[in-house]
């Protein structure tokens, strides 16, 4: 059979020159905020303010403001935590794994994806603090030298593993993001005047753009990519241990690590998709984030969505095959019990909805992509809700079976995390380059495709 490799589409459209790129990306950093940005940022602030009220109430009054009970000890709190951590996965995947695989299309989106990762992890961390009965003692979960006796942490506890996993992930992500931004910050510095010049100057760490700097920059990027690649797998694996190492039917499952990682990438890509579709319109970056990008992202969403679908079905098979009465009941209850609707939401949003991406036309349709990405994130939220709540609410002793009904505190604190996330994201889009200019320039066109007029080399 004859195979004709398709000609690779151009990654950046619109016949941009290097200077165009610089201008396009720096524009929103240098200009006065646009009306659209002001509106979006204003809404985020309002949401943050409302959420903060509930956050304050939760901390002041106690966790009674949530809907939890003696049987269901975790619900929205840990659902939100896992959900945000999952979303945070796309950043490292795009910046590290795709870098190692030399997937050049990643350059348009990696900056924003990394930023999203960091903000999502911050949101997740806020739920770690929030879900504690006595959050002011959260530092006890760190293995700090102390005068309490001296009391150490419990290294058997998956929650301690979480602390390590998430803090490592957060620091590496921050580092990766910042190092990657240094050349671009230098570009902005070079174009700026006054106070802004000093600030961006300080942030760009004396970047000169010399060949030696570039070489080191490339090396550091590779090393960091190498370091963070295992993190992509480890963070959600460890988060899944919170459940997998327990004795609760529906939690005690060896399939969780791969299943959680796939799910995390799934939801992370969906979130990146949403944010990118939004950013490319607001900042008129259609030439950098092209339909090609959107299509590729959708392919990953389709693949990971199908992986989690297989995982869901495998869980059922194992439950039936195990011969364990409790395990079997946990899954029957998941699909047909009082919380069946959440299971139905999960299945339809996560497994069925991405299947539309088998069709190229739909895969490259912006509206469809946006809607499906939103649906996927809703579905992934429900996945965590299903795992946590439907497993807990009916476990071993039927005497303790209970139902979970959220209260305003649950909703308010979730809203807080949205406010927090979008406020940070909009600040990022305003004050930092949302696309990696330096790397974009490297993937634009090969010299053979150069136009007649010589390139204007301005940084």
Partner 1 sequence: MENTKKRYWKGIEELKNDINVVKNADREFNIDNMEGGEPTHRRDFLKVLGFGMAAVTLASCDVGAPVRKTIPYLNKPLDVEPGIANYYASTFVDGSDVCSVLVKTREGRPVKIEGNKLSGITGGGTSARAQASVLSLYDNEKLKTPVKGEKAIDWKSLDKEIKAALAKSKNVAIVSNTIASPTSKAAIAEFTTKYAGKHIVYDASSMSAIREANATSFGAAVIPGYRFDKAEVIVGINCDFLGTWVSPVEFSKQWAKTRRLSSAKDGKRSMSRHYQFETGMTITGAAADYRSSVKPSQEGLLLANLYNMVASKMGGTPVPASKVEVAYLDKCAKDLVAAKGKAIVVSATNNVAIQTLVNAINGLLGSVGNTIDFSTPYMVGQGSDSEMSRFITDLNGGVYDAVIFMSNPIYEHPEYAKIAQGIKKAKLSISLSDRVNETATLCQYTAATSHYLENWGDAEVKKGYFSLMQPTITNIYDTRQAEASLLTWADISGGDYQQYLKNNWNSSILNGGKSWVQSLHDGIFEAGSTSEGANNALAFTGNVASAVASINSIKSGGIELHTFENITIGSGSQANNPWLQETPDPISKVTWENTAAVSQKTANDLEIAQGDIIKISVQGSEIELPVMVQPGQANDTISVALGYGRTAAGKAGNVGVNVYPMISTVNGNLSYWKTGVKVEKTNSGYTLAQTQTHETVMGRQAVVQESILSEYVKNVKAGRFEPKIATSEGPVRPYSISLWNGHDKKNHSWGMVIDLNTCTGCSNCLVSCQSENNVSVVGKKEVARAREMHWIRLDRYYSSDADITDTWSVGGLSEMEKASESPEVVIQPMMCQHCSNAPCETVCPVLATTHSSEGLNQMTYNRCVGTRYCANNCPYKVRRFNWWKYFENDDFDFHMNNELGRMVLNPDVTVRSRGVIEKCSMCVQRIQLGKLEAKKERRRPVDGEIETACSQSCPTGAITFGDMLDPESRVSKMLEVEREGRAFHVLEEINVQPQLNYLTKIRNKDKADAKWQFVHTDEDNAGAHKDEEPKAHS
Contacts to partner 1 by CB under 8 A: 61-64, 67-71, 73-74, 131-135, 137-138, 140-141, 151-154, 156-160, 163, 242, 245-248, 252, 254, 321-326, 328-329, 332-333, 336, 392, 395-403
Q: Judged by CB, which is closer to partner 1: 159, or 223?
A: 159
Q: Judged by CB, which is closer to partner 1: 365, or 391?
A: 391
Nearest approach, Cβ of 416 to partner 1 (angstroms)? 19
Instruction: Count CA atoms within 13 Å of residue 380 on its CB side.
Output: 34
Rounded Cα distance, 91 and 103, in Å: 14
Q: Judged by CB, which is closer to partner 1: 134, or 451?
A: 134
Mapped onto helix, strand or coil, the DSSP state of residue 238 is helix
Rounded Cα distance, 413 and 36, in Å: 26
Cβ atoms of residues 383 and 350 within 8 Å: yes
Q: Judged by CB, which is closer to partner 1: 109, or 347?
A: 347
Q: Judged by CB, which is closer to partner 1: 150, or 193?
A: 150
Q: Judged by CB, which is closer to partner 1: 4, or 247?
A: 247
- Of 46, 28, 27, the residue nearest 37 (C-alpha): 28
Nearest approach, Cβ of 311 to partner 1 (angstroms)? 18
Q: How many CB atoms lie within 10 A of CB 166?
A: 20
Cβ atoms of residues 51 and 419 within 8 Å: yes
Nearest approach, Cβ of 354 to partner 1 (angstroms)? 28
Rounded Cα distance, 211 and 217, in Å: 10
Nearest approach, Cβ of 250 to partner 1 (angstroms)? 11
Rounded Cα distance, 323 and 314, in Å: 15
Q: Judged by CB, which is closer to partner 1: 189, or 384?
A: 384
Q: Judged by CB, which is closer to partner 1: 156, or 448?
A: 156
φ/ψ of residue 384, rounded to 5? -65, -40
Rounded Cα distance, 18 and 197, in Å: 22
Nearest approach, Cβ of 57 to partner 1 (angstroms)? 12
Q: Judged by CB, which is closer to partner 1: 210, or 398?
A: 398
Rounded Cα distance, 112 and 87, in Å: 13
Q: Judged by CB, which is closer to partner 1: 106, or 131?
A: 131
Nearest approach, Cβ of 395 to partner 1 (angstroms)? 7
Rounded Cα distance, 448 and 459, in Å: 22
Q: Judged by CB, which is closer to partner 1: 35, or 134?
A: 134
- Of 406, 329, 409, the residue nearest 69 (C-alpha): 406
Nearest approach, Cβ of 84 to partner 1 (angstroms)? 17
- Of 301, 294, 277, 311, the residue nearest 377 (C-alpha): 301
Give the pair of three-digit tokens for residue 284: 């008129």
Give the pair of three-digit tokens for residue 275: 């944010």
Rounded Cα distance, 424 and 430, in Å: 10
Question: DSSP letter string over 195-221?
Answer: HHHHHHHHHTTT----HHHHHHHHHHH
Give the pair of three-digit tokens for residue 392: 């807990």
Dihedral angle, C-alpha 337, 339, 344, 345, nearest 10 °: -170
Question: DSSP letter string over 156-170?
Answer: T-HHHHHHHHHHHHH
Q: Judged by CB, which is closer to partner 1: 32, or 70?
A: 70
What 8-state DSSP symbol labels residue 387? I
Nearest approach, Cβ of 140 to partner 1 (angstroms)? 5
Nearest approach, Cβ of 421 to partner 1 (angstroms)? 23
Nearest approach, Cβ of 138 to partner 1 (angstroms)? 7
């Amino acid at each position: 059979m004859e195979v004709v490799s398709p000609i690779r589409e151009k990654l950046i459209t619109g016949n941009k020159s290097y200077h165009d790129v610089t201008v396009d990306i720096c524009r929103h950093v240098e200009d006065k905020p646009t009306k659209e940005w002001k509106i979006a940022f204003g809404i985020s602030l309002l949401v943050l303010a409302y959420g903060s009220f509930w956050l304050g109430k939760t901390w002041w009054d106690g966790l009674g403001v949530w809907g939890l009970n003696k049987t269901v000890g975790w619900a929205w709190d840990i659902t939100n935590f896992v959900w945000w951590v999952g979303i945070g996965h796309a950043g490292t995947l795009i910046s590290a794994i795709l870098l190692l695989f030399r997937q050049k299309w990643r350059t348009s989106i990696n900056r924003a994806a990394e930023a999203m990762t960091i903000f999502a992890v911050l949101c997740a961390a806020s739920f770690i603090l929030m879900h504690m009965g006595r959050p002011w003692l959260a530092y006890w979960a760190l293995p700090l030298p102390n005068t309490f006796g001296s009391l150490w942490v419990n290294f058997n506890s998956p929650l301690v593993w979480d602390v390590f996993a998430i803090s490592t992930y957060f620091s590496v992500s921050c580092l990766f993001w910042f190092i990657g931004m240094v050349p671009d910050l230098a570009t902005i510095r070079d174009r700026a005047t006054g106070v802004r010049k000093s600030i961006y100057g300080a942030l760009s760490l004396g970047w000169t753009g010399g060949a030696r700097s570039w070489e080191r920059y490339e090396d550091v990027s590779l090393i960091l990519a190498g370091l963070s690649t295992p993190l992509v797998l480890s963070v959600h694996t460890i988060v899944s241990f919170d459940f997998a190492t327990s004795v609760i039917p529906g939690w005690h499952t060896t399939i969780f690590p791969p299943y959680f990682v796939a799910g995390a990438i799934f939801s992370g890509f969906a979130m990146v998709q949403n944010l990118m579709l939004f950013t490319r319109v607001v900042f008129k970056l259609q030439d950098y984030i092209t339909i090609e990008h959107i299509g590729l992202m959708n392919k990953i969403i389709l693949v990971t969505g199908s992986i989690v679908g297989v995982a869901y079905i495998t869980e059922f098979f194992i439950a039936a095959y195990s011969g364990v009465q409790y395990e079997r009941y946990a899954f029957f209850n998941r699909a047909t019990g009082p919380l069946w609707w959440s299971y139905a939401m999960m299945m339809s949003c996560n497994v069925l909805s991405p299947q539309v991406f088998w069709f190229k036309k739909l895969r490259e349709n912006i509206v469809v992509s946006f809607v499906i990405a939103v649906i996927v994130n809703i579905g992934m939220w429900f996945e965590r809700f299903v795992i946590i709540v439907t497993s807990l609410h009916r476990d071993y002793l039927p005497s303790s079976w209970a139902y979970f009904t959220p209260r305003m505190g649950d909703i308010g604190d979730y809203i807080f995390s949205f406010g927090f996330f979008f406020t940070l994201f909009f600040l990022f889009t305003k004050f930092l380059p949302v696309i990696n200019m330096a790397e974009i320039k490297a993937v634009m066109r090969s010299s053979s495709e150069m136009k007649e007029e010589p390139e204007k080399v301005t940084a």
